[in-house]
Structure 1
Amino acid sequence: MTEESTHPPLIEFDTPRLRVRQWRESDLAPFFALACDPQVMEFLLPLPTRAESDAAANRARALIAQKGWGFWAVERKDTGEFIGFTGLNVPMAALPFSPCVEIGWRLSRASWGQGFATEAARGALQVGFERLGLEEIVAFTANGNLRSAAVMARIGMHEDVAGAFEHPAVPEGDALRGHRLFRIDRATWQAAQRASE
C-alpha cells in the first residue's frame, strides 16, 4: 500500500431543473451578493465581508473535495445561474444531538417560491440515504424561520419538539439562539419513496 491520500469519488447530481455540483470560482461573487441580502440572512448570522464569504465557500469546496459530499453549489439548468447551496454537512458546533449529519440550504431571494429548495434538498436526502448509507439526517433552523421549516416538512422530515435547543454558536440573548429540530431516518424516507412510486 502506498501512503498516497485517496479521496472518495466526488458526488454531484441533477434534479429536473437543477445541477447540484462542486463550487467554482465564478460562484464566489453571487454567493457574496446572497450573503449581503438582509432577507436571505434574516435568520442566519451575517457574513459581513467578502473575505469571510469567500472563505465559507472555499471551506465547502474543500470538504466536498475531501469527502465527496457537503454543501454543494446549486445552478439552474435553464440559465446556468448560481442560485445558492444545498447539501449535507457535519456541524462544527457541539449540538445536543451530535454526532449527526444535517441537511441545509440557502438560496437567492429571486429563487424563492419556485420549489428549488425542496427539489435540491430531496436530491440531497437521496444521496445521503442511498449513496452514503446514512441512518438519519437532521435539520434545524431558528424558531422564526417558517420558510425553512416548511421545506423541512415538505421533504418528509418530522419535527422533534422535545429536541428544541439553543444553538451554541449564536450569542446568548440573541433572538436567533432558539432552534427547532427536524429529523428523518432512512426507513421513513424509503417508505415515502415506495408510497410515491
Structure 2
Amino acid sequence: MAERNRPGSRLTLRAAAAAVAAVCTLAGAVAVTAAVLAGPGTGFTGYVSEAGIAGSAHAPTYRVGVYALAAGLLLLAAALPPAARLGAALLAAGGLSTALSGAVTCSAGCPLPPFERATVADLVHGGASIAGTAAVVLAMVAISWCRAAGGRLRLLSAVAAAVALPLCAAVGLAMLLVGRGTLVGVLERVVLAIAVVWGLAAAVTVGLGRR
C-alpha cells in the first residue's frame, strides 16, 4: 500500500512546493518593488540593486525580497517533474546566485566596469545578479524543450524565453557600450519583470497540475 501511495505523495509534495514558490515569488517581487520605489530615487537611470546598498533605510526590505525570490526559484526547481532535470538545475543555480546577490551588497551606485571603478563586492554582487538572471532565462529554454514538463508550461516558457533572450542580449551590449543610464535601467527592469512573471505563472501552472 505504501508503494502505491508514493507517486501520489510525490505529486502532492511538488504541488505544495509550487504553491509556496508562487507565494515567495509574489512576496519577493512586492518587497523589492517597494524598496526600489522608496529607495534612493534614481528613477530608471539606476540599477535595481541600489535599493539594497548597505546603510540604506530600505536595504532590509530589499534583501528580504531578494531572499524570497531566491526561495521561490529553489522551490520551483523542486516542484518540476523529475524528467525536467536541466531546468530544475538551472533554477537551483539561479536561486543560489540570487541569494548571493542579496548577501553581498554593492557600494553606492553599484558601479560596474568598463565605465566605472568597481570594488570586489560590486563585482561579486553584479556577477551573481547577472548569473542568476541568465540561469532563469536558460531554465525557460530548457523547460520549453522538455516534453515531460507539459504543454502549458512548455508554451509559457517558450514565450517568456523568446522575449527575454533578446532583451538580455540588449542589456549586455548596453552595459558594455553605453554604461549606466536610462537604457540599461529600463531594460534591466523589463527583464527582471519577465523573470518574475514567468516564475509566478510557472509555479501556479505546476501547482495546479495543468498539462
Q: Please state which structure has a larger fraction of its residues in helix.
A: 2
More strand by share: 1
- Please give the TM-score of this superposition, normalised by the length of structure 2: 0.29
Structure with higher Rg: it is 2
* TM-score where L is the length of structure 1: 0.31
Higher RCO structure (Cα 8 Å, ≥6 apart): 2
